[in-house]
Amino acid sequence: MIGHSFMGAVHSQAWRTAPRMFELPFDVDMTVVCGRDPERTARAAERLGWGDWADDWQQVVRRADVDVVDICTPGDSHADIAIAALAAGKHVLCEKPLANTADEAERMAAAARVAAETGVRSMVGFNYRRVPALAHAAWLVAEGVIGEVRHVRAQYLQDWIVDPEFPLVWRLRRERAGSGALGDLGSHLVDLLQHLTGERLTGVSATQATFVTERPLPEESSGLAARAGTRRGQVTVDDATAFTGRLEGGGLVVVEATRFATGRKNAVRIEVNGSRGSLAFDFESMNELHLYDAADPETEAGFRRILETEPEHPYLSAWWPPGHGLGYEHAFVHQVHDFLTALADDASDLRPSFADGLQVQYVLEAVERSAADASRWTSIG
């Protein structure tokens, strides 16, 4: 695993837990974790359960005892690490968004296509696909339960940078993160709404805002835990992005991604309205899915709450008795399960693939172009 901060800790927990809860086709050996600072990386290896540590990712991806490379670094290094790992014959799991630019994502997708010819696979870590309620929702839409998709509205709301004195961490710098709320949060929504509907976005009209343009520089590069110093620097990414869009089937889409929704910590909300019904989900109640069936008589009509904890629901047979809910980390455990199961099946369509990640990157790029051009309608290639 390359990177050991917030997302590295989440992925480590998933690699530790998946073999203990699921019947996996491979044994999992957490061989080595890599980071830039030797002292911090050594402590992370001990705390997170890795057998060894290193501070040179180029050496790690060439190691003979490594079969899979899990990339948990900021977006500016995704392309270099993934392309090198694939060339070395390692399967790759890469955190979202796939890259900081469409050009980088195109190079990664091309490398993935070449590697796939020799059986080397790759996947992007859009973890919300693996929330049981959302996996169930995707199945219901595919089965035609809500009919033809007409509307999708999706929100990802956070508030962790509302304080103008919060330090200028890497997620607020374009050269490291690529974009702000758009890539960090919006990429999840784009992947999720396209996954749920089975349709791609064809065009967008967007607007963006940066509310705090200057922040204290951090005293140390320690991710979200960085302390603010006395010097200040420019915020070079968006604080909030909103856009409308259209799906291939003609459905209308409204998306909002912000890190300035005061009081909202990690509110991921999506509603899909169809010709015969609707589905609604809110991650703050992640074990619930709400279904409306338009065929019900008006006197009994209403959204029905489905508690997604039955063994028959996606992934749930491996976990607790009905009514005992799961949490944020479980989606990453399911991601490890799906990744390794697909590798064992020699799946050429392991999803979401780097090609899927590239398509999301095209949407993000179109959103930025539209926002820079007075919200002009922008087609997605």
pLDDT tens for residues 175-221?
Answer: 999 999 999 999 999 999 999 999 999 999 999 999 999 999 998 54
CA angle 136, 191, 271 (to 5 degrees): 55
Domain that holds residue 89: 6-127
Of 53-57, 87-91, 221-225, the range with the lowest mean pLDDT is 221-225
Q: Give the Cα separation of 174 and 184 in Å (integer).
A: 12
The tens digit of pLDDT for each residue in 88-127 reads 999 999 999 999 999 999 999 999 999 999 999 999 999 9
pLDDT of residue 194: 98
369, burial (CB in 10 Å: exposed 0-12, middle 13-18, buried 19+):
middle
Q: Is 223 in the same domain as 304? A: yes
Reduced 3-state DSSP string for 340-358: HHHHHCCCCCCCCCHHHHH
Q: Is 253 in the same domain as 162? A: yes
Q: Give the Cα separation of 175 and 155 in Å (integer).
A: 25
- The last residue of a domain, from among 86, 107, 127: 127
Q: Is 107 in the same domain as 135? A: no
pLDDT of residue 226: 66
What one-character DSSP code corresponds to residue 380?
-
Residue 186 located in a structural domain: yes
Total tally of structural domains belonging to the chain: 2
Q: Give the Cα separation of 120 and 349 in Å (integer).
A: 12
Cβ–Cβ < 8 Å for 165, 228? yes
The tens digit of pLDDT for each residue in 366-378 reads 999 999 999 999 9
Q: Is 181 in the same domain as 245? A: yes
Assign residue 340 the CATH number of its domain. 3.30.360.10
Mean pLDDT confidence for 17-31 = 97
Residue 381 located in a structural domain: no
Identity of the residue numbered 226: A
pLDDT value at 228 more than 90: no
pTM equals 0.96
